[in-house]
Amino acid sequence: MIINNPFTDKSPAGIQSCFADRNTEKDLADAYAVSSNTFWWTADNIDDYDEDTPEYRTACAVTDDWAALMDVYQSRIFAILIKEGIRIPETAQIHVLRPFMEQNGYICHSGWWYPENE
């Protein structure tokens, strides 16, 4: 999943900065894929720590930061889709995200976004 990701050393703020001047739908899909994959990767780390430890609190904070960034990009995707007349459901939003991401070169496999050419 993240093995070929050139952004693995970036923080959420770093990713936001990298994509700040990129405005195509492909750029938005790239930003969403990075933030979504990294969110799920970091969320999985929370279980590695005992609750009420500094490591647990740090893992939660990092995951929250990635979740917030993922939500920013997801909201931008949804704004595009709404302008195209697509209704965004309350649940199972993957059904409207997947076509957008596929149009922009990604496939979803078990919740991870992979570039089609990998």
Query: Would you place residue 8 in the very low, low, confident or very high pLDDT band (cuts 50, 70, 90)?
Result: low
- Are 63 and 108 spatial neighbours (Cβ–Cβ below 8 Å)? no
Number of structural domains found in the chain: 1
Q: Is residue 9 part of a domain?
A: no
Mean pLDDT of 40-52: 90
User: Is 36 inside a domain boundary?
Assistant: yes
Q: Would you say residue 54 lies in a domain? A: yes
Within a domain: 12: no
In a domain, 4, yes or no: no
Residue 90 tokens read as 């309350």
Q: Is the entire prediction scored with pTM above 0.85?
A: yes
What residues make up the domain containing 36? 23-115
Does residue 104 belong to any structural domain of this protein?
A: yes
Does residue 48 form part of some domain? Answer: yes
| Beta bridge pairs of residue 32 | none
Residue 6 lies in a domain: no
